[in-house]
Chains A and B, each alone.
Chain A
């Protein structure tokens, strides 16, 4: 039976894909499990958006649906050619809210310099879906030399992060669960094509780009580590987390490294290029807080976290949903 955890981006999700989808779909392209499928010079991706609440501090489902798909294309180095948007709308949904969400999509598309070129609308009876579900697909074109892929990390690479971790997931969770937290928890949802275009002329030096969405930074880094068969070592003291996010995580017993981000990218480049990459990232509003968080090191494929006092711990996939704890 499917559990909520199967959609959470951790081990359950991973197993669902490996055991139920991949063997049947039998596609070498699919099996690369990159953020987008690379077919010759083209990149193709799709994503569904079912987030509740539909409005949250920092954005809404509309912005998310465009930014998410733009980012998936950006992470394989593609320039966006066009986006499609399919809507499944529950009977009784307020037109006013629909307009607001569509406006948000338009605004985000404009910011990203992309066009929504095709779409579809379906209406289902009351109760058949939770308000509104959006599916967006994206088509992009790749340059000859700017093709970051999860399997291209190598020992000696620096691992960078374009900004603070955990913002989106905590903002949404706190709002959804009605935990009564208010304050500076804001989603970071943003299209990153403008930011990462700044790295385009570095070409093949940019080995990996990944946006750490559901499952958090750990999920993305483990996928890279496994695809590249390398070990990624992170410095705990270097991981950037906003104080408000850290406090909310402390209160709920959640690790920010496992929390979704919707406006951040993880970058693997040769150590020698790290300073230049950081300089470029920091020149952009979405990359002002970019930092180096670790390295690709020799060792068994996996991910580890080093504390500044020498303590070492292994980072594993989350099992399923991230839930608030009291213990």
Chain B
């Protein structure tokens, strides 16, 4: 135990002594964003070593019309909407009245819709099984850590012959956007701190093309302070040596080959699709959709509801924040018109969005 503390101190001292050229690393995992903010990493790292946040928060990058779609489904009589807690406060695009419910799942629930927060997609499945007369829709969001759990749930629904269970899909995949951002000249990324739990499923190999072809150093890291520091140190060492490879700094969890069984289940249920990312626009090969043969589990096809195209709020600079181009503080809406209580843009809606993390964990008082 004492070794870990000593190691943390050593790593910090080493990094704080970095005297080379300014380096910019990016993490693309909401939990990394949160952890970095929680540990006050910004205040611990020297000014010439930056860890910026990319589009790693699945809630933040979910387009607002997904919430609108979910809210439309919530109005269908006899339909139960199941969701992870993360989505419940995200505002949709409908106008707010003085005493009207906020256009969020939380608001829909307060207005009488059957919206239930679940910890696992299995809970939604159990509900469907117990209430064969209700339609149960699970709001399927997340990156590659979560997607296998949803795929497994759909396969179970199929094998049980359930007729009243479906999912509304907004799952995303991270490797393609990482490639896109790695080649963005205005970013000048010196390395990626790769997402630890996504890597459990995908395996470290998935980042090889980024390291090899795009020559961007990669290090897979866990989520405690010492683990994040190990990852950053690995990146610094690659830069110093002029190398680019994938260092696995989370070896007890991330194994070579990842979890093939999980990936196979995902392949059985989903296929890759182009996908719209809030603040980033359409990114090729960056999302998933339900395979045709499983269409009956696709809530978008199963229910016909009207959803208007979403409009991004004026002055919102989430796109630039998500791409790591600006710091949240540089957005004119930050802390004033856009706060965690009244979020306008993607980066503030989720507690692990870059702006929300900044707001909650930074030293300033935004009153």
A and B touch in the complex (CB under 8 A): yes
A253 to B359, CA, bound (A): 18
A residues near B5, Cβ cutoff 8 Å: 308
Q: Closest Cβ of chain B: how far from A147's Cβ, in Å? A: 29
Q: Name the B residues within 8 Å of A179 (CB-CB).
A: 119
> Does the CB pair A310–B44 fall under 8 Å?
yes
A170 to chain B, nearest CB (A): 13
Q: Tell me whether B110 is interfacial, beta carbon within 8 Å.
A: yes
Are the C-beta atoms of B44 and A311 separated by less than 8 Å? yes
B119, A324: Cβ atoms closer than 8 Å? yes
Query: Which residues of the other chain, B, contact A243 by a CB distance below 8 angstroms?
Result: none
With a 10 A CB-CB cut-off, give which of A310, A314, A320, A327 has the most chain B CB atoms: A327
Say yes or no: B40 contacts A311, CB within 8 Å. Answer: yes
Task: Mark contacts of B86-116 with chain A using CB atoms, 8 A cut-off: 1 yes-contact digit, 0 otherwise.
Answer: 1011000000000111100011011100000
Q: Are A327 and B110 in contact (CB under 8 A)?
A: no
Cα separation A327 to B83 with both chains bound (whole Å): 13
When A1-B110, A312-B363, A327-B142 are in contact, do A319 and B341 touch as well, CB less than 8 Å? Answer: yes
How many Å from the CB of A259 to the closest CB on chain B? 15
Are A323 and B88 within 8 A (Cβ)? yes
Name the residue on A nearest B41 (C-beta): A311
A1-17 at interface with B (beta carbon < 8 Å): 1-5, 11-12
For B180, what are the chain A residues with a Cβ–Cβ distance below 8 Å?
Answer: none
Contact-size category for B: 35 or more
B86, A304: Cβ atoms under 8 Å? Answer: no
Closest to A177 in B: B119
* Interchain CB contact under 8 A, B360 and A314: yes
Q: Mark B10-25, 1 if CB is under 8 A from A, else 0.
A: 0010000000000000
Interface membership of B154, Cβ < 8 A: no
Complex contacts, B350 vs chain A, CB 8 Å: 327
Q: Please give, as numbers and ranges, the residues of chain A lying within 8 Å of B40 by CB-CB distance.
A: 307, 310-313
- Interface residue ranges of A111-161 to B (CB < 8 Å): none
User: Is residue A302 within 8 Å, beta carbon to beta carbon, of the partner chain?
Assistant: yes
The tally of CB-CB contacts under 8 A between chains A and B is 99
B153 interface residue (CB < 8 Å to A): no
Tell whether, in the assembled complex, residue B85 and residue A325 are in contact, meaning their CB atoms are under 8 Å apart: yes
B351–A325 touching, CB < 8 Å: yes
Q: Is A319 within 8 A of B86, CB to CB? A: no
A313-B38 CB under 8 A given contacts A1-B110, A300-B365, A327-B30: yes
Which parts of B122-175 form the interface with A (CB within 8 Å)? 142, 146
- Within the complex, the shortest CB–CB distance from A74 to chain B, in Å, comes to 31
Please judge, given known A-B contacts A302-B365, A319-B340, whether A326 and B360 are in contact too, CB under 8 Å.
no
Enumerate chain B interface residues (CB-CB to A < 8 A): 5, 8-9, 12, 30-31, 37-41, 43-44, 57-59, 84-86, 88-89, 99-102, 106-107, 109-111, 117, 119, 142, 146, 225, 340-341, 350-352, 359-365
Q: Told that A326-B86, A327-B59 touch, could you supply 14 new A-B pairs with CB distance under 8 A?
A: A252-B119, A302-B365, A308-B5, A309-B12, A309-B44, A311-B44, A313-B363, A316-B359, A316-B360, A324-B85, A324-B119, A325-B86, A325-B351, A326-B84
What are 14 residue pairs bridging A and B, where the CB atoms are less than 8 Å apart in the complex? A1-B99, A4-B109, A308-B5, A309-B8, A311-B225, A312-B43, A314-B360, A319-B340, A319-B341, A320-B89, A321-B106, A324-B84, A324-B85, A326-B119
